[in-house]
Amino acid sequence: MKMKRLFLSLVLAAVAASVPAQQVYDMVFDSATRTVNDPTSSYTQVKLAQFKKTALTYMRVRAEASDTLVSYRVLDYQAYYLSQFTTAYLREILRYSGDHQKGNRETAIRMFIKASLDCPMWNDPDTATSQAYVSEDEELTPFSLDTDWQKAFEEVQYLLRQIPGHD
């Protein structure tokens, strides 16, 4: 696992070093925008893309309003890990898609929600905004917008490795 994390870090560093500032962020945002605007996108694709756009916009607004300097590289890393987090989430939901797996699916969903809540990026006191998706009962992506996506992704990966037989 350490090799996988090292490889991922090296790839991300190489990508970030070889592209202009904020290009990863822009690529994720543009891809989400294209998906939302594409009439052939499925309901699930659109809902996921809408969440990504909202989370990325929230992240940029919070970074610009922050008292501390937030580099473009931070936004790039966060955009990358937001994509990793949501991809892992969908993979786990699909893994437990059968009726006989409903309990496992609910446990996986709660694990991802908890990770997004337990890893705040900004400690935003405006929970009505930052947790708007969490409070929606039927939301496909019930996550806090105020999330350090890298930490949340790492937490979920750790928790998934603790499940016996989970690959």
pTM: 0.83
The answer to whether 117 and 123 have CB atoms below 8 angstroms apart is no
The answer to whether 33 and 51 have CB atoms below 8 angstroms apart is no
What's the distance, CA 140 to chain centroid? 13
37 sits in which H/E element: helix 23-37
- Per-residue pLDDT reduced to its tens digit, 6-56: 344 444 444 444 445 579 999 999 999 999 999 999 999 999 999 999 999
Task: End-to-end CA distance of the chain: give it in Å, rounded.
Answer: 12
17 sits in which H/E element: helix 2-18
